[in-house]
Structure 1
Amino acid sequence: MMSITDPATSEHFIKAMEEIHSQHLKALGKIADMTTELSQTHKQFIKSAQDTCIKKCKDDEMLFDTIESFKKALEQKSKSLKDKRLAISEVMSEIEQKEMKKEEIIHKIEKLKEEQAKRRDVIEAQNKANKKRLKNLQKARYMFQEHLGLEIRAIMGKAEVSRGEKLQFIFKNINRSDLTSAYIVTMGINAEGVYQVVSSDPALDCLTNLEKRLQETNNLPAFLANIRKEFVALARH
């Protein structure tokens, strides 16, 4: 067994310690290198994670901004759609009112057409009646002028109530003591196309009844004959 005081032993021990120290230094160096490498890797990972997070935050901000823009655009479109629906409703209401007015106008036009047709029928009937009355007048004129000395004159009324053309029937050969004496009845046709007696000279008490009978029968010759009879009766008194 070697003694520790032996120089060879001491050198061997020192050499062994140096080898162990060297090994430890190498191990420490490897650990330091591994630590440095891990630290660099960790820093790179942290930086990459930080960059990823920053990018993610920016992307999220852009996404939120886009969502907010879409939300505002949707609100504007909703408001615009609501306004358009309101405008369409107002237009439809206006169209309905115009349709109602159109129906009213069409109804009024149809009513006016019916009234015009009725007026035309009335005018035609009045024209026919006037033609018939004119024919009766011509017959009466011929009969009375030829046989009884009747004279017929057209006059224009001056008073407001009697304005328009009137006819005077002048009877002679009534009074035997004076055959030239004139007995006059004045008459015309009112706005309704009805015979209307204005006056008689001399006055006849039964003139109103004779006028009513004339309006009922439209028989002018008979009316004139009755008037002449009344004048003759009046002249004999």
Structure 2
Amino acid sequence: MASIRDYNAVEHFNRRLEEMRSKLLDQALGEELNDRVAQLCQEHRQYMKSVLDTCVKKCKEDETMFDMIQTYKEDLKENTSLLKEKSAEHIEVVSEIEDKEHHKALLFQRIEKLKKDQAKNRELIQSQNKANKDRLKKLNKCKDIFQKHLSLEIRKIQGEKLQFVFRNISRKDPDMVHMFLLQLDAEGVYHIMSCDPPLEKMAHLERRLQETNNFSAFLANVRREFVALHGGAKTA
């Protein structure tokens, strides 16, 4: 056995101690490092699993979102198409309303014109009625005169028609009837409808009556023409 005074032995012993200390230290550090690495690996696996789960969940959410977006796009396309149809219908309805409003305005104009025309016609009818009443008064006056002095009979037949019957025309046959049928139209114009016996100058006498409106002179002239048929004096 070497003496403790042997410096080489001490150095060798110290070196061996150092080697043993380093080996033990390496072993301790190695085990701790392995444990730490294992722990880190476990944590990494858990983290990666968590990340994978999150990614999977996110992917599913994204797929759902993409499906919703596609559905929204289809709904938007359909709604846009419906909106265009409704817009076209709206334009058509507005056009129909405008046409009806225009037609309504035209109807109002026609109604106003009809009202004015009706008022004018009413005034004209009233004026004509007044004129006809005046003419009837004259006719009645003539009737009284001629009926009293000349045996004239006036009969109202067929609405606005008057039949004038003359007697005492023929000296040979005083009861012999001479007559004519007269009509007063809506404008108050006299028209001879028939004459029995016919008079050659009746058309002329009718025109004179329409021009002068002198019914008394007309009756007198007609009577003279009837008398002239039997050889009496004629009208000048």
TM alignment of 1:10-49, pairs within 5 A: 12=13, 18-49=20-51
| Structure 1 pair 143–25 and aligned structure 2 pair: CA distance change class (3 A) | same
- Residues 142-191 of structure 1: per-residue CA shift (max 9 Å, x gap): 222333x232141646xxxxx8643123042x44x437153523122144
TM alignment of 1:49-60, pairs within 5 A: 49-60=51-62
- Residues 208-228 of structure 1: per-residue CA shift (max 9 Å, x gap): 100111112221101011122
Out of 179, 182, 187, which is 1:188 matched to? Answer: 182
> Which segments of 5 or more consecutive residues in structure 1 lack a partner in the other structure?
3-8, 158-162
TM-score (norm 1): 0.77
Out of 192, 197, 207, which is 2:192 matched to? Answer: 197
Single out whichever of 106-115 and 211-220 deviates more from structure 2.
106-115
* Partner of residue 139, structure 1: 141
* 8 A Cα contact 1:154 1:167, kept in partner: yes
| Structure 1 pair 84–33 and aligned structure 2 pair: CA distance change class (3 A) | same
CA drift of 1:39 comes to 1.4
Q: Distance in 1 between matches of 2:69 and 2:192?
A: 99
* Partner of residue 216, structure 2: 221
Q: Distance in 1 between matches of 2:148 and 2:190?
A: 24
> Which secondary structure does the structure 2 equivalent of 1:185 belong to?
strand
Q: Distance in 1 between matches of 2:122 and 2:18?
A: 150
| Structure 1 pair 164–124 and aligned structure 2 pair: CA distance change class (3 A) | closer
| Structure 1 pair 143–39 and aligned structure 2 pair: CA distance change class (3 A) | same
Out of 151, 165, 176, which is 1:169 matched to? Answer: 165
Single out whichever of 121-130 and 219-228 deviates more from structure 2.
121-130
* 8 A Cα contact 1:136 1:219, kept in partner: no
Give 2:153's aligned amino acid. I
CA drift of 1:42 comes to 2.0
Q: Distance in 2 between matches of 1:202 and 1:30?
A: 160
* 8 A Cα contact 2:153 2:166, kept in partner: yes
* Shift >4 Å, 4+ stretches: 11-20
| Structure 1 pair 207–22 and aligned structure 2 pair: CA distance change class (3 A) | same
Give 2:92's aligned amino acid. E
Out of 218, 231, 235, which is 1:236 matched to? Answer: 231
TM-score (norm 2): 0.77
* 8 A Cα contact 1:214 1:223, kept in partner: yes
* 8 A Cα contact 2:167 2:174, kept in partner: no
> Which segments of 5 or more consecutive residues in structure 2 lack a partner in the other structure?
3-8
- Residues 59-97 of structure 1: per-residue CA shift (max 9 Å, x gap): 322332343343334334433433332332232122112
* Partner of residue 151, structure 2: 150
| Structure 1 pair 202–67 and aligned structure 2 pair: CA distance change class (3 A) | closer
- Residues 10-67 of structure 1: per-residue CA shift (max 9 Å, x gap): x958766554443332232233223212212322232232223223223322332343
Q: Distance in 2 between matches of 1:137 and 1:155?
A: 12
Q: Distance in 2 between matches of 1:178 and 1:58?
A: 134
> Which secondary structure does the structure 1 equivalent of 2:143 belong to?
helix
* Partner of residue 90, structure 2: 88
* 8 A Cα contact 2:164 2:181, kept in partner: yes
**More relative contact order in 1 or in 2 (CA 8 Å, sep 6+)?**
1
| Structure 1 pair 230–40 and aligned structure 2 pair: CA distance change class (3 A) | same
Identity over aligned pairs, percent: 38
